[in-house]
Structure 1
Amino acid sequence: MEPFVLEKADNGCELLALAPFTRAYPQLSAGFTTRLGGVSRGDFSSLNCGLHVADEPGDVVRNRRLLAEALEFPFDACTYAEQVHGNEIQVVTKAWRGAGNDSREKALQAKDGFVTNERGVYLHALFADCVPLYFYDPIRQAVGLAHAGWKGTALQIAKALLETMSAAYGTKPRDVRAAIGPSIGACCYEVDDTVIGRIDRALREADEEATVQPADVLCYEQQPNGKYKLNLQQVNRQIMIKAGILPSHIEITGLCTSCHTDLFFSHRKEGGRTGRMAAWIGLREA
């Protein structure tokens, strides 16, 4: 069953709730925006949440405010970063609450993963084909969010985030609930030997350090033209399992951002001129 369920807020935002998380843990909010229900125009129509694309900044901030309103979050609790396709993780405390919500200059700099155990701090990351990764430790009440393009995936950002949660909060991977959100699927994602070489190396390195070996799963398939169809969602799932998350604790979407440009922005499908969706996760204040 698809874990991301479409809901329409009273203000018109159309959002995908991470239903297995939010139904089991009412204190948790997690999900993914669509491109629908905002004020942006043209190529960025309409719920573009990315300030780093060529959209009007005022429209983007208005969209982010609409998102916060739809989720019943204070806007000054919504925290954003400048992502760089790396694997650096930021521990977010209340001192960072609201960073980057209306300005790139005030965002968390050069970070692609974020963790917090502070209630009322809502983590946001931006996507237009890359893979959103969600983490929740219900024992220690900590959450994490990561942005995993092929570079972040090759750098095992999922493993880096788990290690940060362990160091910061004492998280044990077997306790973690994880989810893999809407992104470009193997159906639409063709890559070359360089990318596959990096992915193979990451999977081998994960194997060497793994305490659990998942069943063999096809993560890519060579095409007649010599290139490969790559399933980044499945690669990240394999890395999560090798890092100690139980397979039964991982939700994975069936939604491809490139196949569904009526619902999502897709950098590859739309030739690079497009908006960004936001993934979010956070623990509500009592």
Structure 2
Amino acid sequence: MTKKQTKAWSVPPQWVGVNGGISTTSSGALAWGRGSVPEIAKNRLDWAEKADFIIGFAVSLEQVHGTRVVEVTAANGGAGFLDPATRISATDGLFTRDPHVVLLTSHADCAPIFLYHPQARSIGLIHAGWRGTLAGIAASAVATQCRAHDLRPCDLLVAIGPTIGTVNYPVGEDVAAQFVAKFGPNVVTRYAGCPHLDVYAALIVDLLRAGVTDARNCPRPPDTFANPIWSSYRRDGERAGGMLAYFNLTSSMSE
């Protein structure tokens, strides 16, 4: 991925040595299952061409709203980009130190979490829906990446990309109660008596508990439901085509 990519949202500009962001609905449906395999593959190829994106470097997941996070290298390049059968199975997060790898996750309201250790040149990309968030995928990803690359959580930088906002995310009383029990009362707000979930706030709590102090500096992301440039399952249902979040190391720390 290069600077030719038009970004409606990207990782903080002060993060030197990396390139990361998320696609928009202008690229069409990009998530597997949101159209036929040939249609999604064509959209992905078109998106990759416009972005000057080398598909052989991309690594995609079979996302299951779990907490499994795995390390990938160039040996995994191309997995799942044009054929869903070749995705890394039953996984919701990736990390790498390999400059020849582009990490990919798909989203349509669920949060993309970007983790970066500048000195160690270690990056991670996580898919966090409400189930994964409640199960602690953010903390699990931090622990797994830090253990594998001998890092300290306090040295990680974190950004959270576009996800559904609280006002547009009503949930049942049972889900709300589970989130309050795990993350505290501030992750649920009531509108007209109905509980609404703040996934961003829950992720920040989880990241801080995991030792990622930079989570205090992580701004609230755009609300996917509120703007049609973002794919939103809650807004569009089965018509939501899904977006791709991407994260890769660039060739030098000056890029």
Instruction: Identify unmatched segments of 5+ residues in structure 2.
Output: none
1:49 corresponds to which of 1, 13, 30:
30
Match of residue 28 from structure 1 = 18
d(CA) in 2 for partners of 1:71, 1:23: 21
| 1:18/1:31 contact within 8 Å kept | yes
Match of residue 199 from structure 2 = 232
d(CA) in 2 for partners of 1:285, 1:70: 20
Letter in 2 for 1:274: A
1:167 Cα deviation from its structure 2 partner: 1.3
1:219 Cα deviation from its structure 2 partner: 1.6
1:62 Cα deviation from its structure 2 partner: 2.4
Shift in alpha-carbon separation, 1:108–1:256, aligned structure 2, 3 A: same
Compare the two structures and name the one with the higher helix fraction: 2
| 2:6/2:51 contact within 8 Å kept | no
Match of residue 283 from structure 1 = 249
Once the two structures are superposed, what CA deviation does each residue of 1:208-257 show, in whole Å capped at 9, x if it has no partner? xxxxxxxxx822113444x3011101110111111111146643344111
- Is 1:67 aligned to 2:35, yes or no? no
Shift in alpha-carbon separation, 1:56–1:14, aligned structure 2, 3 A: farther
Match of residue 160 from structure 1 = 140
Letter in 2 for 1:246: T
Match of residue 42 from structure 1 = none
d(CA) in 1 for partners of 2:243, 2:77: 20
Say which SS state the counterpart of residue 125 (structure 1) adopts. Answer: strand
> What TM-score do the two structures reach when normalised by structure 1?
0.81
Match of residue 189 from structure 2 = 221
d(CA) in 1 for partners of 2:146, 2:215: 20
d(CA) in 2 for partners of 1:250, 1:73: 30
Match of residue 230 from structure 2 = 264
Higher relative contact order (CA 8 A, sep 6+): 2
d(CA) in 2 for partners of 1:49, 1:192: 29
Once the two structures are superposed, what CA deviation does each residue of 1:19-65 show, in whole Å capped at 9, x if it has no partner? 52x4440x3110011101x3xxxxxxx2x211222x13223222222
| 2:207/2:215 contact within 8 Å kept | no
Letter in 2 for 1:159: A
d(CA) in 2 for partners of 1:247, 1:56: 40
d(CA) in 2 for partners of 1:153, 1:201: 13
1:131 Cα deviation from its structure 2 partner: 0.9
Letter in 2 for 1:272: E
Letter in 2 for 1:52: G
State the aligned residue count. Answer: 250
d(CA) in 1 for partners of 2:104, 2:72: 11
Letter in 2 for 1:86: G
1:93 Cα deviation from its structure 2 partner: 1.7
CA RMSD across the alignment: 2.0
d(CA) in 2 for partners of 1:61, 1:268: 24
Shift in alpha-carbon separation, 1:106–1:258, aligned structure 2, 3 A: same
Match of residue 159 from structure 2 = 179
Match of residue 244 from structure 1 = 211
d(CA) in 1 for partners of 2:140, 2:217: 17
Letter in 2 for 1:284: T
1:80 Cα deviation from its structure 2 partner: 0.6
Once the two structures are superposed, what CA deviation does each residue of 1:110-158 show, in whole Å capped at 9, x if it has no partner? 0001111111200000000111111001121110011111100001111
| 1:237/1:250 contact within 8 Å kept | no
d(CA) in 2 for partners of 1:152, 1:202: 13
| 2:63/2:91 contact within 8 Å kept | yes
Map residues 49-198 of structure 1 onto 2, 5 A cutoff: 49-53=30-34, 55-198=35-178
| 2:69/2:144 contact within 8 Å kept | yes
Say which SS state the counterpart of residue 218 (structure 2) adopts. Answer: strand
| 2:25/2:231 contact within 8 Å kept | yes
Say which SS state the counterpart of residue 166 (structure 2) adopts. Answer: coil
| 2:180/2:187 contact within 8 Å kept | no
d(CA) in 1 for partners of 2:99, 2:227: 34
Compare the two structures and name the one with the higher strand fraction: 1
1:192 Cα deviation from its structure 2 partner: 1.0
